[in-house]
Structure 1
Amino acid sequence: MTLATYINDLLYRYDCVIIPDFGGFVTNRIGAKVNKYTHTFSAPTKQVTFNSLLKHNDGLLANYIASSENISFEKASTAISLSVIKWQNELQSKAVEIENLGVLSLNEEKQIVFEPNTSVNYLTESFGLSTVESAAISRYKQQVKPLVTIVAKDEKKKVPVFIKYAATAAILLTLGFSAVNGYQQNQQKKILAKQEKAIQKKIQSATFVISNPLPTINLNVAKEKEVSKPFHIIAGAFQYTENAEKKVKQLRAKGFNAKIIGVNKWGLTQVSFNSYTNRTEATNNLYTIQDTISKDAWLLIEK
């Protein structure tokens, strides 16, 4: 079993994949980029980083391996632990390359340093998009000639007399029309102001009597939306909806806030013990359920 294969699969769907007792691979979205030196356009991508402080087992990786390999949750957890021990031993003497993810190594302070593999894009929205190269744009530096013909000084002086008189007459006519239009606009404003005052007086003196009042209408105010609870402790997945509904009734009889949370990609109806708003509370309850009720319970993080 190659652990890197399952980590790569989960990074396409989740922003964080934790390897228990080792660290977590976290993705951050980066928008499209333009390289002005190579004249290339790169599609949006997910940048992968490594955080050695994320060591707490959230059950995501082990559950995915168990469902893919058709083995128990305990066997999957054991396989992960063996891979982690192997990586830790190899890091003492050399760098460890994880397929498609990148290279892990130790610095002088014995801290893990991660160098990601930038050739793999975990952003599903950019699937099939590759780097595009564009030809360089050359600038036209030749001086542009003016479109308006420059008239010589001698030609300006030779303006016919009748053109001067025509221009003067046009200016006087324009001024005359402007004065008339201004006077008409002022008169219209005065008339409208008088009409508005008359209407206001009628409204103030009017008395409105309603003989048949409308009945009272009761409005039901909609409740606020429920707080998002993206963390679900899964009790099982069923091929038939009837079996899923029976499971919900059994769990509710035991005091759980069980419910059907939907159908997964394999067409199975998933039933949860309970749902939570934060990851810490969900993880603590998961451990309690695994110790007391069902060892196969696992945590589903909904996007």
Structure 2
Amino acid sequence: MNLANYINDLLYRYDCVIIPDFGGFVTNRIGATFNTSNQTFNAPAKQLTFNNHLKHNDGLLANYIASAEQISFEKAAAAISLSVINWQNKLQRGSIELNNLGTFSLNEEQKIVFTPTTEVNYLTSSFGLSSIATSAVKRHNTTVKPLHENNQKALPSFIKYAATAAILLTLGIAGYNGYQQNKQKETFAKQEKILEKKLQSATFVIQNPLPTLQLNVSKKNAKPFHVVAGAFQYPENAAKKIQQLKKQGFNAKIIGVNKWGLTQVCFDSFAEKNDAINSLNKIKRTVSEDAWLLVKNIK
């Protein structure tokens, strides 16, 4: 079993994928960027990082493997454990490379160092978008040297005419340069508009796609990051759990029904991912080790 393939699949849908007893992959969205060294526009992307403190099994990876391979949850969890043991053994001898994820190695303090790959963009809205190179805008500076007014009355007539012609010629050159600069600015603006249209109208196709995922546009004050307390077969048990958590001071609520028909209850919801992860770590230490992070927009 190639565990990296399943991790790749989940990173397109979730911002955090945990490998039990090893660590978690976390993605952060970054906007479109412009590289001044090579005059290139890069599409928005998800920046991949690794947190070796996220080791508790949240069930996400095992559930996905069990569904994809048509095996039990226990067998999927056992397969993950075997892969982790294999990775840890290889790290003792050198570095390991995971397909489309990056490279792991150990530093002098025997801590894991992760170098992510830059070839994969996990932001689905940017599929089909490639980097766009533009030509640099060259600006010409033309300086008009002033004529000295000393002894102007003593200058012969032909020198005055020559000076006048020189001024007119210089002004003509400056005007032409200004025209060229305006044309270059227009070209640059058109290139930016082309990029913007590509970012807005890009489409993509995934081979062997995951089940359809509805993406809702985030509204102001939306809180898509949820620290999940549990999932219940009977709604009345979910209601009891909410009352229990509210007595403990949590802003608990129902966040919907998952694909297995279970009613999900969360401790709290957050607008920022870092706040959600901090709350998750605290809850794991003090309340429930089974808590996990779900990214989902709720109407």
User: Partner letter of residue 231 of structure 1?
Assistant: V
* Structure 1 pair 142–96 and aligned structure 2 pair: CA distance change class (3 A): same
Look up the match of 2:227: 231
Q: Residues 65 and 117 of structure 1: is their aligned pair in 2 closer, same or farther, counting only changes over 3 Å?
A: same
3-state DSSP class of the match of 1:92?
helix
Matches within 5 A, 1:144-293: 230-232=226-228, 233-235=230-232, 247-249=234-236, 251=237, 255-257=240-242, 261-262=255-256, 269-272=261-264, 274-277=265-268, 278-279=279-280, 281=283, 287=290
Amino acid at match of 2:133: E
Q: CA RMSD in A?
A: 3.4
Map of 1:49 onto structure 2: 49
- C-alpha distance in 2 between matches for 1:128 and 1:145: 53
Instruction: Tell me the equivalent position of 1:98.
Output: 98
Structure 2 CA distance for aligned equivalents of residues 19 and 68 of structure 1: 17
The CA distance in 1 between the partners of 2:75 and 2:53, in whole Å, is 24
Alignment gaps of 5+ in structure 2: 147-151, 154-220, 244-252, 269-278
Aligned to 2:274: none
Indicate the SS of the match to 1:86: helix
Shift in alpha-carbon separation, 1:141–1:299, aligned structure 2, 3 A: closer
The structure whose Rg is larger is: 1
Q: Distance in 2 between matches of 1:260 and 1:94?
A: 46
The reply to whether residue 2 of structure 1 matches residue 2 of structure 2 is yes
- Give SS of 1:54's match: coil
Matched with 2:26 is 26
Residue-by-residue CA offset, 1:133-164 (whole Å, 9 max, x unaligned)? 00121223345799xxxxx99xxxxxxxxxxx
d(CA) in 1 for partners of 2:95, 2:28: 24
**Number of residue pairs matched by the alignment:** 201
Cα distance change, pair 63–235 in 1 and its aligned pair in 2 (3 A): farther
Q: Percent identity?
A: 56
Instruction: Tell me the amino acid that sits aligned with residue 271 of structure 1.
Output: T
Q: Decide whether aligned partners of structure 1 residues 10 and 228 sit closer, same or farther in structure 2, where only a CA change above 3 A counts.
A: closer
Q: CA 1:144 to 1:65, structure 2 compared with 1: closer, same or farther past 3 Å?
A: farther
Pairwise CA distance, 1:230: 2.3
CA contact (8 A) 1:46 1:121 kept: yes
The one-letter code sitting in structure 2 at the alignment partner of 1:301 is: L
TM-score, normalised relative to structure 2: 0.57
